Amino acid sequence: MILISGANGFVGQGLCAALERRGQRVRRALRGASSSAAAADSVAVGNMDASTDWRSALRGIDTVIHLAARTHLVNETGGESLAAYREINVGGTRRLAEAASRAGVRRFVFLSSIKVNGESTAERPFGEQDVPRPEDAYGISKWEAEQALRQEAPKSRLEVVVLRAPLVYGPGVKGNFLRLMQLVGRQAPLPLGSVSNLRSFVYLGNLVDAIIACSEAPLAAGKTYLVSDGEDVSTPDLVRRLAAAMDVKSRLLPCPVALLKLGAALVGKSAEMERLTGSLQVDSSLIRRELGWRPRFTLEQGLEETARWYKGRDG
């Protein structure tokens, strides 16, 4: 049986559905009771931090897939932010790994982030061999969580697999990707026509397949893999492709990137602008080569599925 933390999240819902279609027995670890999981095997564990009691959730479990994480905070300050991330992303991960070791769990798959590698690439894509250089509190906490898992694994038979993903998109997406879709859907003028960058993304269906591969492949034990759709695009190209998938016209206006960055800095949005104008590429060749994983969905197919969901939403 497989235990999934964060089962009601964006990735968790897609993963649970995919595993159950394959005939796998899944137990959902949730913070509280959920009517949406009433018909499924689920257990409420409260807040997932350094004090969580995992004993009942781990009974009969052979594989743990740890998705639950603190992803962002609003109006955060540096020191307080890192402490808050560490409480859940580091302390919570270590607590679950320790409990999994005691319960005799075999495989532990941890969904990490490409932010562990860094915020941008220049000459070549990030690879597994690169020295981690996380810059923000979220990336730092994910890297520290990876290290905590590596420290726990030798104490038992626990096989840890780490999967680092870039921005995930697909039906149900939230955050910056959803905000971009809203702007494109309204045909708002976007001053991004002069941006020349390359960024990697991963479609939800492709990420789910990669997680399952990491949970099953014997060769994955002890490894770290980077995953992406395998097709990198510039921000203007992404806008054009989104517009085509949504059956609207893209309205890209040319504007010097230096001017965009200056304007963003003046309003405290430098990080957001960097994500729109900078490059962040991921080399996913190792997981393809070692596990035989291939993305089932192209970027175009992923955007079409996401657009179909967006247009079908209530309201």
- Convert the pLDDT of each residue in 32-67 to its tens digit: 765 554 557 889 998 888 999 999 999 999 999 999
Determine the pLDDT at residue 262.
92
- The predicted model scores a pTM of 0.92
Structure tokens at 264: 């963003």
Please give the domain boundaries of the chain with CATH numbers for all domains: 2-165 (3.40.50.720)
Is 138 one of the catalytic residues? yes
Structure tokens at 109: 């798959």
Beta strands 63-66 and 159-165, pairing class: unpaired
Determine the pLDDT at residue 76.
53
Tens of pLDDT, residue by residue over 142-182, are 999 999 999 998 888 899 999 999 999 999 999 999 999 99
Q: Which helix (H) or strand (E) holds 81?
A: helix 78-85
Q: Please, which residues bridge with residue 163 across strands?
A: 111, 225
**DSSP tally for the chain: helices H, then strands E:** 12, 9
Determine the pLDDT at residue 95.
95
Listed residue (52, 127, 56, 64) closest to 92, CA to CA? 52
Listed residue (250, 185, 267, 211) closest to 9, CA to CA? 211
Residues of the chain with pLDDT under 50: 37, 74-75
Give the separation between CA 283 and CA 62, rounded to whole angstroms: 30
Candidates 138, 203, 225, 310; catalytic one: 138
Which residue in this structure is represented by tokens 């807040």? 47
Give the separation between CA 201 and CA 232, rounded to whole angstroms: 7
In degrees, to the nearest 5, what angle opens at C-alpha 83 toward C-alphas 54 and 267? 130
Determine the pLDDT at residue 74.
46
